[in-house]
Amino acid sequence: MHRAILGFLFNAWATTEIFEQDFQNLTSRKMMMDNKLAFSNSLTSQSPFSGRYSPTNLYRVAAAAADSRRYMPTASWKSNCFVDNFKFDPNGNFFPTIDDSFLARAEALAKPESFYPSHFPSTFSNQVAVARFESSNVVDHPNHVGLSMTSSSSSQDQLSPHHNPFYNHSVMNGMSVHQIAMHPHDLDIDPRELEGFAERFKQKRIKLGVTQADVGQQLSRLKMPGIGSLSQSTICRFESLTLSHNNMVALKPVLHAWLEFAEAEARSKKKEELNGHNNNDKKRKRTSIAAQEKRLLEGFFSVQPRPSGEKIAQIAEKLDLKKNVVRVWFCNQRQKQKRMKFSAIQSD
DNA sequence: ATGCATGAGTG
DNA sequence: ACTCATGCATA
């Protein structure tokens, strides 16, 4: 108790120094972030890299449909995302072609008046948005074609289109066309439905004896356009609803597709093996902010979630942390506040 | 399961 | 310089 009081005073003190004008707000705010223990290790190797990934095409499409104001398509990504025709170059890589009608469809989806069938998964008959691949002139090279592309014949049965509710294949003008359906209904799901799915997903996943990390890795085998693998972190966050609503909505069909495959695979009592990762020596060190510094940061955050660069520098100096560490901490804190769990509680 | 971090996209 | 999806490292 004494400690708590002292902590509060300490926060208040530290806060006034930098946010004097905001001090009056302090007492009316609440600390909402947890206070996990952290070890005082301020040495952070500003290290390496590790490939970062931009949102998947599917996510962008979903996001655009969900909130067209926020995700106003710009030329740069329109050419990458508002496409429904992908072609392959001789190396088997995708390259997109623009389809204006798709943009129009996405915009239509953004309208609240839009109505869609309420069940999922559904057939292709009522689909509105579809990502289509054309194997065009490489149609004679099965190994270069989207979903049917497999690195080994052994996995062909598991990836059979027959088992993927999102997949459809047809031949048009001599071209092999592969489609991935993106059900519009999913673009605007009720949080409760997401919650339900996440729970069922986890349950089934465990029943299948598959780890979160496995799911992430196996995802790449689905060969969905713009979707490779995902990390254990992401799968975990999906299951625990600690992702943004949009993110949850975008990932749902992907994970649903995985579940279909996994269950079909289990049914046919098949097995597969996956492998390891990159084993570089250049591992990044995770910065650890001590509890006391964290309390101060939370104090600052409570009165000013978006401090200017100047203030960030002041805070960094006061806490003896790198400015970038402080900046990122604020970014993450803001992001954390927006996550599903919180926003769901608010809006419900 | 979660803290700190990256990087693409955006204004 | 921010947001957002996502990942590595680690509790």
A219 vs A142, which has greater pLDDT?
Answer: A219
Nucleotide nearest to A58 (CA to C1'): C5
Of A137-146, A237-246, A280-289, minimum mean pLDDT range: A137-146
**Distance (Å, whole) CA A161 – CA A148:** 8
Per-residue pLDDT at A251:
96
Query: DSSP characters for A179-208?
Result: EEEE-GGGGG--HHHHHHHHHHHHHHHHHT
Instruction: Supply the pLDDT for residue A269.
Output: 60
Q: Which residues contact residue A126 at a Cβ distance below 8 angstroms, ignoring those fewer than 6 apart?
A: A116, A117
Which nucleotides in chain C have some atom under 7 angstroms from a protein Cβ? 1-11
The answer to whether the beta carbons of residues A180 and A134 sit under 8 Å apart is: no
A237-269 pLDDT, tens digit per residue, is: 999 999 999 999 999 999 999 999 999 988 876
Provide, in whole angstroms, the distance separating residue A47's CA from nucleotide C2's C1': 22
pLDDT of A271 above 90: no
Q: How confident is the model at residue A28 (pLDDT cuts 50, 70, 90)?
A: very low
The gap between A221 CA and C6 C1' (Å) is 19
User: Fold for domain A191-274?
Assistant: 434 Repressor (Amino-terminal Domain) (1.10.260)
The residue that minimises its CA distance to C1' of B8 is A54
Residue A57 or A256, more confident: A256
**Which homologous superfamily does the CATH classification assign to the domain defined by A304-344?**
Homeodomain-like (1.10.10.60)
- Give the CA A286 to C1' C9 distance in Å: 6
Q: What residues does each domain of chain A span?
A: 191-274, 304-344
Q: pLDDT tens for residues A180-224?
A: 444 444 456 788 899 999 999 999 999 999 999 999 999 998 888
What pLDDT score was predicted for residue A215?
A: 97
pTM of the model: 0.50
CA atoms within 13 A on the CB side of A113: 1
Q: Separation of CA A78 and C1' B3 in angstroms?
A: 34
A242 touches strand C (CB under 7 A): no
- The model's confidence at residue A345, banded by pLDDT at 50, 70 and 90, is low
Residues across chain A: 348
Say yes or no to pLDDT of A173 above 60: no
Question: Is residue A50 pLDDT above 70, yes or no?
Answer: no
Within 7 Å of a protein beta carbon, the nucleotides of strand B are 1-11
pLDDT of A230 above 90: yes
The strand pairing partners of A134, in sequence order, are A87, A177
Note the pLDDT of residue A284. Answer: 77
A183 vs A166: CA distance, rounded Å? 9
Name which residue leads in pLDDT, A108 or A197.
A197
Q: Can you tell me the mean pLDDT for A30-55?
A: 28
Residue A84, pLDDT score: 28
* Residue A233 predicted with pLDDT over 70: yes
